[in-house]
Amino acid sequence: MSNQVRLRLLPTARCLFDEPIQLKVAGLRSKQMVTMRARSTDEKGVVFSSSATYRADGSGEIDLSRDASLSGNYVGVEPMGLLWSMRPDILHKRFQKTNSLNPHVVNFSVHEEEGGMLAEVKNERFLMGDGVSRVPVKQGNIRGVLFTPPGEGPFPAVLDLYTFGGGLSEKRAALLASRGFLVLTVALYGHDDLPKNIKEVHLDYFEESIKFLKNQDKAGSNGVGVISLSKSGDLALSVASYLPGVQAVIWINGCSANVAFPLYYKNRQILSALKFDMNKVISTESGAIITKYGMHDPLKEENKASLVPIERASGRFLFVASEDDLNWDSKAYMNAMVDRLKRHGKENFESVSYPGAGHYLEPPFGPYCPSSFHAVTGVPVLWGGEPKAHAAAEVHLWRKIQEFFRTHLSCDKIKIKSKL
């Protein structure tokens, strides 16, 4: 390792997961060609890595916010390219960072063309900002984690449904709390003492979760926000359509109909399950399948009992669709919902779509996932998207999410709680 070459992370080597960093190299020879690398290990022990080739300027310096990668996992000026372009060393693995207590650690290094390391630096990317509290929730039927920002509040309250793969993910909830939201993330199955598998979903669980969230001392919004992704998108629609107290819903690459499991409320089925036809999947050479064309059409007469009656909702919707989603046709589902609301004279929605983005839109600067195991199909699936466009979509959407909730979950300046 060279004593002269310096690799720096600005403004600091410790930051939040969703914060950009500036990577700079100094002390190289004028116009020297080097390889920049990033390497990390996720919670499952899977190694993710990336590399890109750069040429130093006349002063022997490289600045990733200014200089273009000439080859490697990406080309062009991509300040965060080493992060989002990291790939797993095992095929069809999705980056797992669900526990908020430990940082995501990335080792950045700079190497000579022959491979020798010249310098390295460690980047610790935290999910929880300073002062954010994390409290596991096991009350009544609720199984989840409550994240509370530092300070007196009150704070906008958000229910995070994340995905429908079982278990509990804390990443998005912890980061939203770090940005000033009171967030409860809940698991529906596969966590704590919840069943490992389910055959039906009960809306009562989410009603209980909303009441719990609204009763928190620092919950300042009159109603709650709900944020979802994938299968939980239709659950978020149903929560907004059937339950009171929901002011704002973010639907990300979901379906317009209730998928896979019948939905019950007060022990009565309110929506049937839209089913999937495995005969319509497309196999690929990688061993992963494309499921986009396997869902039954929710607009056909025989499937309309699964459609969520979103015109019943009084809160605001933000519909988000990736145009290259290979899991299912999110863009078509979004367009159908927009048409449905317009037909009912509703204007309580906005929508955004991202060309070149795939199914899993998450908080920015994590490794892009082209394919991974799918809990429902039991085999790996292709999620779609082009890495650079997908990464840019995540940056834009993360800002959009926060703006939407701040706009539609306004808090009273002073929240008075009755005291006995």
- Concerning whether 192 is annotated as a catalytic residue, the answer is no
DSSP 355-405: TT--S---STTSPP-SEEE-TTTSSEEE----HHHHHHHHHHHHHHHHHHH
Does residue 419 lie within any of the structural domains?
no
Residue whose structure tokens are 């070149």: 356
Handedness of CA 19, 359, 312, 246 (dihedral sign): negative
Strand partners, 264: 202, 269
Q: 152 exposed, middle or buried (CB, 10 Å; 0-12, 13-18, 19+)?
A: exposed
Structure tokens at 255: 């379906």
- Concerning whether 277 is annotated as a catalytic residue, the answer is no
Same domain, 75 and 167: no
| CATH number of the domain where residue 241 is located | 3.40.50.1820
Set 325, 371, 372, 390: catalytic member: 325
Set 92, 104, 202, 359: catalytic member: 359
Of 126, 157, 190, the one marking the end of a domain is: 126
What is the domain range of residue 80? Answer: 6-126
Q: What is the pLDDT along the chain (420 residues), one digit of tens a residue?
A: 556 999 999 999 999 999 999 999 999 999 999 999 999 999 999 999 999 999 999 999 999 999 999 999 999 999 999 999 999 999 999 999 988 999 999 999 999 988 899 999 999 999 999 999 999 999 999 999 999 999 999 999 999 998 666 678 999 999 999 999 999 999 988 888 888 889 999 999 999 999 999 999 999 878 999 999 999 999 999 999 999 999 999 999 999 999 999 999 999 999 999 999 999 999 999 999 999 999 999 999 999 999 999 999 999 999 999 999 999 999 999 999 999 999 999 999 999 999 999 999 999 999 999 999 988 788 999 999 999 999 999 999 999 999 999 999 988 654 444 332
Set 230, 241, 306, 322: catalytic member: 230
Query: pTM of the prediction?
Result: 0.95
Same domain, 347 and 364: yes
| CATH number of the domain where residue 62 is located | 2.60.40.2240
- Concerning whether 130 is annotated as a catalytic residue, the answer is no
